[in-house]
Amino acid sequence: MSRVAETTGSVRGAGVNLRYSRWQGGGAPIVVLHGGGQTRHAWEESCAHLGDLGYDVVALDLRGHGESDWAPDQAYGLMDFTADVVAVLPQLGHPRVALLGFSLGGLASLYLTARHPELCAALMLVDVAPRLETDGVRRIRDFMSRHESFGTLDDVVAALREYNPNRPPDSIRAESLLRNLRQRPDGRYEWHYDKYFRTPVPEGSEYQSRIGGLTHDELLADARGVRCPTLVVRGAMSDVLSEAGVRELLDTIPHAEAATVERAGHQVAGDRNDAFLVAVTPFLARWYPVQAEAAPGTV
């Protein structure tokens, strides 16, 4: 059990209200951004551990996800997620933070770091990079499309195990699932996010979706501008981020580091949270220790 209590609250993003969970360990701040279709609750175990280490950890529900507002104008571009974080940081009392982003949250973190380097002391990308494997991305989209709703929680568990048969059974728990789902008036469960967010843009490229700024070349250009300490963590069994994608990122950000979590797929922390934390904490100790809020954060 975490020694640092989880608190929750609301902040104002760029035109939307956002919900967050916070573990105030008293030290340097880390902002955690979840993946597309997730909520902040998917990262509770990792956040609680980092809070126990002494970090001030904030996990946001991105716009259109969880308890945060759906975007009234259906604005779900990387620039919109970034604008939300920029607006939120002063309200949290932190002018400069480390970013820990998974999948979509990682892309938003990369986009933010490139455009607002003064706000970012360190960057941690979880199973994401400019080069994404089309088949893996398509498999996620197809899974979400096939499973729009569920009659019971057992149906949810069965679907997740079908998608990821290598995930430890005890890592899929009903109480955790309930925090990432919402129940409709007819009693069925569905993922807690705005489905418009994942509908493809007509005639878009293989990387195009409603989250604009997602082409390979655009993301590489963003990566070239990253100067803060950077870590990319890949699940060894991921079909979304390949070894080639990691190598390309390391070539583009020469000072970046890489870590691989064995027996984990795209959902790295969900598959093997303990091993994920073992990969992340040495990086933090070197480049962003608990007392690092005033540190320069560049290499």
Domain ranges of the chain: 6-292
Contact 166, 265 (CB under 8 A): yes
List alpha helices for 100-152, DSSP H: 104-115, 134-146
Question: Residue written as tokens 């929680």?
Answer: 153
**What is the C-alpha end-to-end distance of the chain, expressed in Å?**
35
CATH topology of domain 6-292: Rossmann fold (3.40.50)
- pLDDT for 296 equals 40
Q: Inform me whether the pLDDT recorded for 52 exceeds 60.
A: yes
Apex 224 CA angle, 218 and 225, nearest 5: 100
- Tell me, what's the pLDDT at 192? 87
Residue 128 neighbours by CB distance under 10 Å: 28
* pLDDT reading at 292 higher than 70: no
The set of residues, in sequence order, having a beta carbon less than 8 Å from that of 40 and lying 6+ positions away, is 19, 20, 21, 32, 34, 59, 60, 61, 66
Pairing of strands 17-24, 257-261: unpaired
Tell me the backbone φ, ψ of residue 219, rounded to 5 degrees: -70, -35
Average pLDDT, the chain: 89
What's the average model confidence in pLDDT over 63-83? 93
pLDDT per residue over 156-178, tens digit each? 888 888 888 877 767 776 667 77
Using CA atoms, how far residue 178 sits from 39, 156, 162, 189, in Å, is 11, 10, 19, 9
Of 217, 199, 240, give the one whose Cα is nearest residue 76. Answer: 199
Six token digits for residue 268: 């790295």
Bridge partners of 11, per DSSP, are 18
Provide the percentage of residues in the chain whose pLDDT is more than 70: 89
Q: Tell me the one-letter amino acid at 28.
A: A
Per-residue confidence band for 299, with pLDDT thresholds at 50, 70 and 90: very low
Q: Is the pLDDT of residue 202 over 60?
A: no
On the question of pLDDT at 298 being above 50, the answer is no
- Average pLDDT estimate for 65-89: 94
Per-residue buried b or exposed e for 33-50, using 16+ beta carbons within 10 Å of the residue's own CB:
bbbbbbbbbbbbbbbbbb
Q: Determine the Cα–Cα distance for residues 292 and 8; give it in Å rounded to an integer.
A: 24
For residue 7, give every residue at least 6 positions away whose Cβ sits within 8 Å of its Cβ, in sequence order, or none: 21, 22, 23, 24
Q: Which of 175, 143, 149 is nearest to 161 (CA)?
A: 143
pLDDT value at residue 226: 97
Q: Are the C-beta atoms of residues 14 and 73 closer than 8 Å to each other? A: no
pTM score above 0.95: no
The percentage of residues in the chain with a pLDDT greater than 90, rounded to a whole number, is 67
Cα separation values, 151 from 37, 112, 140, 148, 182, Å:
19, 39, 21, 11, 12
Lowest mean pLDDT among 92-101, 140-149, 218-227: 140-149
Give the span between the Cα atoms of 64 and 197, in whole angstroms. 7
Question: Which pLDDT tens digit goes with each residue over 230-286?
Answer: 999 999 999 999 999 999 999 999 999 999 999 999 999 989 999 999 999 999 999
The label of the residue with tokens 């580091």 reads 257
Q: Residue 260 and residue 255: Cα distance in Å, rounded?
A: 17
63, 108 in Cβ contact below 8 A? no
Rounded (5°) CA angle 161-235-223? 130
Helix axes 216-224, 104-115, angle to 10 degrees: 50
